[in-house]
Amino acid sequence: MIYYPTETRAAPLTTIRRERLLPLRGQVLVSAGEVVGAADVVARCLLPGEVRVVDVSRELGVSRGKASRHIRKSVGDTVQKGETLAARGGLVSLLRSGCRAPVDGQVIAVRHGVILIEGATTTFELRAHIAGQVTNVMPHLGVVIAATGALIQGAWGSGGEAEGVLRLVVESHQRPLRARAVDVGCHGTIIVGGWIMDEEVLRKAEEVQVRGIVAGSASAELRPVMESLPFPVMLTEGFGTLPMSQHIFTLLQSNTGREAMLSAETRLRWAGKRPELLIPLRAGEDLSHEDDTPQPLEIGARVRLLRAPHLGAIGQVVSLPPFPQVIDSGIRTLVAEVELEDGETVLAPLANLDLIR
């Protein structure tokens, strides 16, 4: 039987290709073949302002039929915040009272005593986020950027994107990230810890203005706090008190001090987008290529166990019994024999394995 498990990428050196797309049609500023830095602006567009509704009849206390005679603006007029839109009576009344614009913008509709104002447009600048080469340009939409480097995918993330120098603040993948380890030296860096201890460390990280946090896990109770932070957070294992995988920690440790790009946005249900950390590196002889094609589970594959009592443990598949086996819970199911990093060999249901590539 061929089985395709869920996958997590944790590659020390691979070719990475990422689309960078505008939210609306706009202008692409780079050409194919151009080399860009992570902070370079590759495209921009204009974002329409918020539409505000001003109910003139209610604010002036007149009927909708009579409101139109008091309105002093027409469709297409530009208005500034606080400017009078409508008023009852003459000049004195105009100066003392009236209906005023809530924002800077343009009048887009006037009907039945109601004025619609579209706020001023803003310019959105799309940054490369990855230091690499533009391989494809999609006119008015965005670009595809290719780079070589380390790629680590997480289980959960929040907070968008950030770039910064990678900084380990713990000595072991099992050590928690504590507030006392986060000091002014962490300012502007992406800090790494085994797992997030408590809310205090998150607030300390916010205080010293880190660029991001990468940790093995955190309590589910901290999720609202992490989602409210002004920087991205990525958990490599998920929620709980799970230490970071030794394999991932070693990979991060070997790249301490390098510039990294953290994208912690997670959209698993619709787009299949997972949080990830990219570390640009020079290509070597052992360069692999990112492959989105699902891979079957095979002997020799590196896997992570997803259920207790070995939740989060990393090991290597040593055999794939062809027939269902009875496991400790008494269930008969297809399993893999996995040799863990500590030398212990266990039988794990195929559904409880995550393939690490």
Q: How many CB atoms lie within 10 A of CB 214?
A: 28
Helix (H, G, I), strand (E, B) or coil at 64: helix
Average pLDDT value over all residues in the chain: 89
The reported pLDDT for the residue numbered 90 is 54
The pLDDT confidence band at residue 192, using thresholds 50, 70 and 90, is very high
* pLDDT (tens digit per residue) in 245-303: 888 999 999 999 999 999 988 765 445 678 999 999 876 545 555 566 788 899 999 99
Architecture of the 51-119 domain: Beta Barrel (2.40)
> In this structure, what token pair is assigned to residue 320?
């794939």
The pLDDT confidence band at residue 310, using thresholds 50, 70 and 90, is confident
Spatial separation of the C-alpha atoms in residues 333 and 292, rounded to whole Å: 28
The mean pLDDT value for 167-187 works out to 94
Reported for 80-89, long-range contacts at CB under 8 A and 24+ positions apart, including other chains, are 80/104, 85/54, 85/56, 85/115, 86/56, 86/59, 86/60, 86/115, 87/60, 88/60, 88/62
Rounded (10°) CA dihedral 238, 244, 247, 253? 130
> In this structure, what token pair is assigned to residue 342?
């500590």
The reported pLDDT for the residue numbered 329 is 80
pTM to 2 decimals?
A: 0.79
Rounded (10°) CA dihedral 121, 122, 128, 134? 30
Give how far the C-alpha of residue 156 lies from the chain's centroid of Cα atoms, to the nearest Å: 9
The reported pLDDT for the residue numbered 285 is 44
pLDDT > 90? residue 69: no
* pLDDT (tens digit per residue) in 91-150: 444 445 678 999 999 999 998 889 999 998 899 999 999 999 999 999 999 999 999 999
The mean pLDDT value for 216-222 works out to 94
For the chain, domain boundaries = 51-119, 155-274, 302-356
Residue 208: CB partners within 8 Å, gap ≥ 6? 182, 183, 184, 186, 187
The reported pLDDT for the residue numbered 87 is 85
The pLDDT confidence band at residue 52, using thresholds 50, 70 and 90, is very high
Architecture of the 302-356 domain: Roll (2.30)
pLDDT > 80? residue 89: no
Give how far the C-alpha of residue 29 lies from the chain's centroid of Cα atoms, to the nearest Å: 24
Domain 155-274 CATH (choose: 3.40.50.2000, 3.50.30.10, 3.40.50.1100, 3.40.190.80): 3.50.30.10
> In this structure, what token pair is assigned to residue 121?
């447009």
The mean pLDDT value for 203-208 works out to 97
Residue 296: half-sphere exposure toward Cβ, Cα within 13 Å: 6
**Cα distances (angstroms) measured from residue 338 to each of 308, 318, 332:** 14, 6, 17
Residue 200: half-sphere exposure toward Cβ, Cα within 13 Å: 10
The reported pLDDT for the residue numbered 91 is 47
The reported pLDDT for the residue numbered 327 is 84
